[in-house]
Amino acid sequence: MIKIYTQIKQGEKWLRHYRGSLPVFACILGFTETGLIPGISAAGLTPEDRKYTACADAEFLYYGAEHQPQYPLPPLTAGASPVLISRAVVAALNIPLYLFNGGLLKIPAVPIIDLGGSPARCLSTGVALEIATVKHLLEQGLLWGSRLSAEIPNGYVILSECVVGGTTTALAILSGLGIDAAGKVNSSHPICNHEQKWALVQAGLEKIQNPIDPLQLVAAVGDPMQVVVAGMAIAASRRCGVLLAGGTQMLAVYALIQAIAQTYSLPWQPEAIVVGTTRWVAEDPTGGTVDLALSLGKKTTNQGNTIPPLLATQLSFADSHYPQLQAYEQGFVKEGVGAGAACIAAYLSHNWQQYQLLAAIEDQLQQLSHRQIITNKQ
């Protein structure tokens, strides 16, 4: 059910250590105006839809399909939101859930911890966030990483994200840190829009001076989620396990963790941290996720960087009754809101197999379809 793609021994040790443990699930929500550029993301049909994707995902993750949302899940080109996967696991296993507002346009209608951040401008401006905001968000991340890990000293925390346009800001952070990431990132499109992403990243990076401090890099071309999760992971790794939930975006966060810890002499435990995603990301033929993970150890500056174990759930929707789920197998929708990590957690804690995951996810979709029918009739 789980395949390890890099650092196999370290990954196996991590999985053995947390077998039988129930995690804490944290989702850090953020916004970047990069996500409003036409064609940049498929996480919402239109730029207007994408303004509210994070709010909709937060509501669904917290309340599930039965709840009448303030922000309904946005329509997609094809497929169903990955939050269905995360919700299925969090609800069935009763996993403690924490939602954090790193910097959103709108406040979701859920209990949420506001970190005092702000939405990011488009990364092409080279001035995505104020440096004071980035420093504040790092402090908040370190604080909450300590708090969450104090609750589960022998367990692990899942750090997930929802940022539309986040794979593009991830490419910017990776490139700014001297990592060869062009053409390797993923996207919510069936065929990754590498040229569009790279043009935006070049426009942003051209406006900054190199070499650059990692926090200044986030301020220039990043998004608010990245520095929060980096801070949380650094602090939490000192006491418990950390499962960075995502593909490209969490590999960028991992690179940021290394750079921040080195620049600011912050102690952390690399062996406590793994990156967990879906096989749709890890094996995406239009990206290069495994190669990207390996590239973190070949940075042009500062030798001695570590490569994280990259894990992925082997969940398949090939046998699903629902075309919205079968669309994953065609490359529409691949990951988000900690979907892959949730499946990994279900396997680790309750030994859930493919059929159990599929049944729970299809049940969420059935409930959602039923509610939408009722809503449309009213």
The pLDDT tens digits for 75-99 are: 888 899 999 999 999 999 999 999 9
Whether 343 has a pLDDT exceeding 90, the answer reads yes
Please tell me whether residue 158 adopts helix, strand or coil conformation: strand
* pLDDT at residue 305 in the model: 76
pLDDT at 298: 81
pLDDT given at position 228 = 98
pLDDT tens figures, 227-256:
999 999 999 999 999 999 999 999 999 999
Asked which of 238-247, 253-262, 300-309 is least confident by mean pLDDT, the reply is: 300-309
Q: Band the pLDDT of 371: cuts 50, 70, 90.
A: confident
Q: Which pLDDT value is given to residue 78? A: 85
Q: What is the pLDDT of residue 374?
A: 63
Q: Is the pLDDT of residue 304 over 70?
A: no
Helices (H), the chain: 8-18, 47-50, 53-63, 83-93, 131-151, 166-176, 194-205, 214-221, 224-237, 248-263, 279-282, 289-295, 323-326, 339-350, 354-377
**Per-residue model confidence (pLDDT) at position 199:** 96
Residue 377: per-residue pLDDT:
62
Contact 2, 312 (CB under 8 A): yes
Which H/E stretch holds residue 114? strand 113-114
pLDDT tier for residue 258 given thresholds of 50, 70 and 90:
very high
Q: Is the pLDDT of residue 378 over 60?
A: no
- What does the pLDDT average to over 27-54? 94
Q: Output the pLDDT for position 2.
A: 97
